[in-house]
Structure 1
Amino acid sequence: MSSSNGEKHPFLDDLADDAELRGTVLRRPVSGRDNIRRLVEAVGTLYAAQTSTFYGAIDQRHFLQYKATLRAGLDLEAVGVIERDDTGLVRRVAMTFAPLDAALSLSAGLAGVVGKEFGDDLFYDASVNKVATS
């Protein structure tokens, strides 16, 4: 979800003010351009390495795939669907991460980096080892 190699990020520059981000590492959506930017930047701080494997578009939907290695040592694969409106603004982004252990580690890592800012209930809490039922 981040671009640390100097390439243009596939959606951050085009976020609508009221854009929404959903993801398998989040318990609820995150809304707003600035919130999404902060969260994506936080994800990048948890990666030791990242390699894009695919980026393409069908009409106003753009698809992003990449592999990453977390600083914790786990390998991760991500798939993003970026939905744009008729003007080209990004209205919605959905990110999925696998395998589960790496996704949970990423979510717990985000809690440590931006949990206070976004609310501790947004991320997986590894110290309690709980899974929300709602």
Structure 2
Amino acid sequence: MTGSNGEKHPFLDDLADDAELRGTVLRRPVSGRDNIKRLVEAVGTLYASQTPTFYGAIDQRHFLQYKATLRTSLDLEAVGVIERDEAGLVRRVTMTFLPLDAALSLSAGLGGIVGEEFGDDLFYDASVNEITAS
């Protein structure tokens, strides 16, 4: 996937069929290339703006950092660890989002967009006051 500025996305084009996405906005991992692409696409619709701040690699492990502002006006920071195999395929992506209010807002927003598709129990439900362990 190429961004609007012509830069290649750091991992979407290279996802293995059985790749796994983990993150602080998800209650459990999401597996599969198409599922991960759909989820990343949904995240993008919740951003008012996004600014990359760092991208680098050590061996097969790549690191991505960016700042974003959600459409809810909350500022968000993200750190991604992209793990590749010897062939260069992405096997696992782990995303951490902060601060907590922005991460919960992002998770709830994702639930509103793709909750039925992925299962409502995957995302934070803002209408429930307690956070339960899965």
| TM-score normalized with structure 2 length | 0.96
The equivalent of 2:121 in structure 1 is: 121
Cα distance in 1 for residues equivalent to 2:101 and 2:3: 23
Cα distance in 1 for residues equivalent to 2:9 and 2:3: 6
Aligned length: 133
The equivalent of 2:86 in structure 1 is: 86
Q: What one-letter code is carried by the residue in structure 1 that aligns with 2:12?
A: L
Cα distance in 1 for residues equivalent to 2:71 and 2:109: 10
Cα distance in 2 for residues equivalent to 1:23 and 1:56: 19
Cα distance in 2 for residues equivalent to 1:6 and 1:28: 32
Shift of 1:4: 4.9
Percent identity of equivalent pairs = 86
The equivalent of 2:73 in structure 1 is: 73
Shift of 1:5: 4.0
The equivalent of 1:107 in structure 2 is: 107
Change (3 A) 1:25 1:67: same
Q: Which runs of 5+ in 2 are unaligned?
A: none
Report if aligned partners of 1:4, 1:44 keep a CA contact under 8 Å in 2: no
Root-mean-square deviation (CA, aligned residues, Å) is 1.3
Cα distance in 1 for residues equivalent to 2:33 and 2:15: 6
| TM-score normalized with structure 1 length | 0.96
SS, match of residue 130 in structure 1: coil
